[in-house]
A and B are shown apart, each in its own frame.
Chain A
Amino acid sequence: MLVWLSVIVLLPLAAVVAKSTEGGLDGFWQAVSSREAVAAIKFTLIASIVVVAVNAVMGTVIAWVLVRDEFPGKRFVSALIDLPFALPTIVAGLTLLALWGPRSPVGVNLAFSKAAVILALLFVTLPFVVRAVQPVLIELDREMEEAAASLGASPLVIFRRIVLPNLRPAIVAGCSLGFARALGEFGAVVLISGNIPFKTEVASVFVFSQIGNDNVTGAAAVSVVLLLLSLITLGLVARLGRVRHEG
């Protein structure tokens, strides 16, 4: 089992790290600090942060509505949340292009813009925060909220002082998973972004085009940056999980 894991996961990733440092640390540094690479990494980071911020708010709102609200078709909506996990990313990209592209039926053409990239990332990362917050909200003891309400706290104060602190670990965990996903997303972005260097090119698309251009070292170096960023993010999630188990 460990052999399988090493062959499938460890060996290939080791090859990427080895390739990126072939020319020593200088070579690595040169490859990641090329203007196009820096622009791609920067845009990926900014887009991912924006996406995570929107997810934190909207994910919590959706989870709240799905747990605390009652309306016809709620079960159907709840099942729908998983659709972005199940839908192939390239189809996600095509669906967004069908709606917000040059042939948009609502007359909004976002194709090849930064907004399009953010939209695509919002689509694929939608389930993370919702699915992290939902179970916590279901388990949450409502007595505290009722006590606060009977003491005269307004709904907003109750949410901010009682509900939110309880949800915070789940929101952070969901955001981290979404962030890691957004950093590496490729399929959903590749059609709608137009992949314009210095404008809409994200890091994964940069890696892809560098493989095509035979600049494998550059591709490997940016890959390592992406890998490190996501591993740090996932490490954060693991630590949070442990804190919650022990606390």
Chain B
Amino acid sequence: MRARFGLRSLALGYLFVLLVVPVGMVFYRAFEHGFAAAWDAVTTPDALHALQLTLLMVVVAVPLNTIFGIAAALLIVRKRFRGKAVVEALIDVPFAVSPVVVGLALILVYGRTGWLGDWLSQNGIRVIFSTPGMILATIFVSLPFVVREVAPVLREIGTEQEEAARTLGASPWQTFSRITLPAIRWGVGYGVVLTTARAVGEFGAVSVVSGRLAGQTETLTLFVQDHFERFDLAGAYAASVVLAAIALSTVAVMTLLQRRRRTA
């Protein structure tokens, strides 16, 4: 009994010191000078622009990665083909690559002296230090989530129902939309939540390719660093609270989805 209590205190104490206190501190610092001051700090034009840009990243990256994720999961689970192991490994690569390396990689392809640099500048397309590069970086880092959540569900539900639908004359699209998609919906939902959280929170890769021009190529995470380094702590903490609130709601939605999936 005493050992059990000791372990519980150790675990909870560790979580408290490492997790709860620091996150609480940011909320405290943000609202130290009142709610109005924090509100003012996150409603400056630069802050609002940063929030908009972050939302743009989500709106572009999440749907693309969701469609890709479902297609890739179907391919990996339902088809046999040469080089499947390589494809699976490639899908996991974004988990293993440092965000800074992702940024560097994009510069080396799309930057001024990059592989496609000449062609892009001849056609007047700017990727690096501009929104397209940041979107590419966000897609890269959030690529694996939907695949990784959907693939195990597909494996579990098997192919019986799909085959039954097919023998009854359903087209591939009908089979997918009436049988497969409803069966994997919780997995997809979970993957979408994780993808969104990653897209909102991406910092390193976006930081390298953005050029960090306030009011132009600054997302909310870059805004936090920028304002921290300019000693505008109120702005940095207030924007952090917005991001932390998004993270906390993500965790809440994840918990809900997990419960739904278990009962479904």
Contacts and interface: CB of A to CB of B under 8 A. Distances in A.
Whether chains A and B associate is: yes
B109 A12 contact: yes
A187 B75 contact: no
Given A65-B7, A123-B22, A204-B99, A94 B72 contact: no
Interface in B54-77: 68, 71-72, 75
A9 B143 contact: yes
B247 A86 contact: yes
Interface stretch (A30-38, A142-150, A166-174, A177-185): A177-185
Interface string B223-262: 0110010000000110010011011101110110000000
A87 B247 contact: yes
Nearest to B91: A5
A79 B252 contact: yes
B18 A126 contact: yes
Nearest to B256: A79
Contacts of A96: 22
Contacts of B25: 95, 98-99, 105
User: Of A62, A65, A123, A180, which is in contact with the most chain B CB atoms at under 10 Å from its CB?
Assistant: A65
Contacts of A77: 12, 15
Nearest to A11: B109
Given A65-B8, A69-B8, A95-B23, A184 B240 contact: no
A15 B72 contact: no
B91 to A, nearest CB: 7
Contacts of B220: 88
A85 interface: yes
Interface stretch (B118-126, B170-178, B196-204): B196-204
Contacts of B22: 92, 95-96, 98-100, 123
A115 interface: no
A80 interface: yes
B104 A94 contact: no
B153 interface: no
A24 B251 CA distance: 47
Contacts of B159: none
Point out which of A71, A89, A91, A98 has the most chain B C-beta atoms below 10 A from its C-beta: A91
B118 to A, nearest CB: 14
Nearest to B229: A191
B45 interface: no
A207 B207 CA distance: 12
A223 B202 CA distance: 18
A1 B115 CA distance: 22
A64 interface: yes
A238 B248 CA distance: 31
A86 B18 contact: no
A186 B100 contact: yes
B101 interface: yes
Nearest to A203: B98
A155 B7 CA distance: 13
Contacts of A49: none
Interface in A45-94: 58, 61-62, 64-66, 69, 71, 75, 77, 79-92, 94
A65 B201 CA distance: 30
Interface of B: 3-4, 7-8, 10-12, 14-15, 18-23, 25-26, 29, 68, 71-72, 75, 87-109, 114-115, 136, 139-140, 143, 194, 197, 200-204, 207-208, 220-222, 224-225, 228, 236-237, 240, 243-244, 246-248, 250-252, 254-255
CB-based closest 4 A-B pairs: A184-B98, A88-B201, A12-B105, A230-B96
Interface of A: 1-2, 4-5, 8-13, 15-16, 18-19, 58, 61-62, 64-66, 69, 71, 75, 77, 79-92, 94-96, 98-100, 105, 119, 122-123, 126, 155, 177, 180-181, 183-187, 190-191, 203-205, 207-208, 211, 216, 219-220, 223, 226-227, 230-231, 233-235, 238
17 contacts: A13-B97, A15-B109, A15-B114, A84-B19, A86-B248, A86-B250, A94-B236, A96-B22, A123-B18, A181-B95, A184-B97, A205-B100, A211-B103, A219-B104, A230-B97, A235-B89, A238-B92
Given A88-B247, A95-B23, A211-B100, 18 more contacts: A1-B75, A5-B72, A9-B93, A16-B108, A64-B11, A69-B4, A87-B243, A90-B201, A91-B244, A98-B22, A177-B95, A183-B98, A207-B104, A208-B100, A223-B100, A230-B96, A231-B96, A238-B89
